[in-house]
């Protein structure tokens, strides 16, 4: 039975003492600190998504709770989280909003880039063990460590700004583990593609990681119905799309070789292929799952081939 509440604009579900559903009606609000919390449900990333509070002795209230990571700007992007049957008893809902649900990956990555820039500051002699060198070269660690170095402060600051603006929303929605895996493959793929077709120059910078995150930001548009400010988000992403397209086109027309278009392209491809599979499919679309597996199956052989070419040839 659906009931309208005049004094509340919220989404509710009532449960009896055994937590069997008896009635339901819809609202939107987050729990307050003084709410008497009875049970809490977690999603697959251990983020609270359903809070059970006590209304009276006969009924319980269920509150729809966006992840803490959504904070205020991205709060309530997605309108509804299904209630699971597994419940844990806690004293206060905010005790589950822990330190580990903060966007630690993007924060730690940005801090690491700043630290490495302070240490090396474009010192070509000092960072020679970390740069991706021209082939032939079999130092596999360079496929990752090159992303920690930058030519100057302008380079590192621009990449950090892009990481924060694009990466924070994704990490808050999809989790740090998914995003870290995608960035890792983006960095490696960018290095491999650059090494395979531009073997006469060194490579620095985490632009390939930024491009993999940008690809995932575009993939997030498939969750269109779950995005609250749809056209704001679309405009936001289009700005980065235009900027990145300009950078890639410019890199191929720039004879100086200051920008590696291949590393940008490698990160973009990895982000598309891995992101389609790893990002949360909030619409539960079977087609997207199938496409994700197809892209992953296509991506892995090419990734393996270029890695073999880097190590052996």
Q: Which residue has the higher pLDDT, 106 or 24?
A: 106
Q: Using alpha carbons only, what angle is made at residue 280 by residues 276 and 283, rounded to the nearest 5 degrees? A: 95
What stretches of 55-193 adopt beta strand conformation (E)? 60-64
d(CA 151, CA 123): 8
Fold of 103-311: Rhomboid-like fold (1.20.1540)
Name which residue leads in pLDDT, 198 or 305. 305
What are the tens digits of pLDDT across the range 216-264?
A: 999 888 877 777 778 888 888 999 999 888 888 887 777 666 778 888 9
pLDDT-wise least confident of 87-101, 191-205, 222-236, 276-290: 87-101
Looking at residue 64, the DSSP 8-state letter turns out to be E
**Of residues 5 and 193, more confidently modeled:** 193
Numbered ranges of CATH 1.20.1540.10 in the chain: 103-311
Min mean pLDDT across 197-211, 219-233, 295-309 is at 219-233
Q: Is the pLDDT of residue 97 over 60?
A: no
Helix (H) / strand (E) element for 49: namely: strand 48-54
pLDDT, tens digit, for every residue of 35-90?
444 444 555 555 544 544 444 343 344 444 444 333 322 333 333 333 333 333 33
Question: Residue 7 above 50 pLDDT?
Answer: no
Residue 286: the pLDDT is 81
- Is residue 277 a contact partner of residue 290, using CB atoms and an 8 Å limit? no
């Amino acid at each position: 039975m659906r009931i309208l509440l005049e004094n509340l604009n919220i989404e509710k579900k009532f449960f009896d003492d055994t937590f069997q559903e008896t009635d339901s009606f819809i609202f939107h609000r987050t729990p307050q600190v003084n709410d008497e919390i009875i049970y809490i449900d977690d999603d697959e990333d251990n983020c609270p998504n359903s809070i059970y509070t006590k209304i009276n002795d006969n009924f319980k209230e269920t509150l729809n709770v966006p992840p803490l990571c959504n904070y205020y700007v991205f709060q309530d992007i997605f309108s509804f989280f299904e209630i699971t049957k597994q419940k844990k008893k806690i004293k206060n809902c905010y005790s589950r909003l822990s330190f580990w649900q903060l966007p630690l990956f993007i924060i730690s990555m940005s801090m690491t880039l700043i630290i490495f820039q302070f240490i090396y500051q474009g010192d070509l002699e000092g960072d020679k063990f970390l740069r991706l060198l021209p082939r032939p070269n079999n130092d596999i660690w360079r496929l990752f460590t090159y992303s920690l170095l930058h030519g100057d402060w302008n380079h590192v600051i621009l990449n950090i700004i892009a990481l924060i603006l694009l990466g924070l929303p994704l990490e808050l929605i999809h989790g740090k583990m998914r995003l870290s895996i995608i960035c890792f493959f983006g960095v490696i793929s960018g290095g491999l593609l650059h090494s395979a077709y531009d073997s006469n120059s060194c490579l620095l910078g985490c632009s390939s990681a930024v491009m993999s995150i940008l690809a995932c930001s575009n993939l997030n548009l498939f969750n269109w119905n779950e995005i609250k400010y749809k056209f704001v988000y679309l405009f936001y992403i289009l700005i980065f799309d235009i900027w990145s397209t300009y950078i890639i086109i410019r890199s191929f027309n720039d004879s100086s070789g200051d920008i590696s278009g291949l590393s940008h392209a490698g990160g973009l491809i990895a982000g598309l292929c891995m992101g389609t599979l790893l990002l949360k499919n909030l619409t539960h679309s079977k087609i997207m799952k199938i496409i994700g597996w197809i892209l992953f199956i296509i991506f892995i052989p090419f990734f393996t081939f270029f890695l073999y070419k880097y190590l052996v040839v």
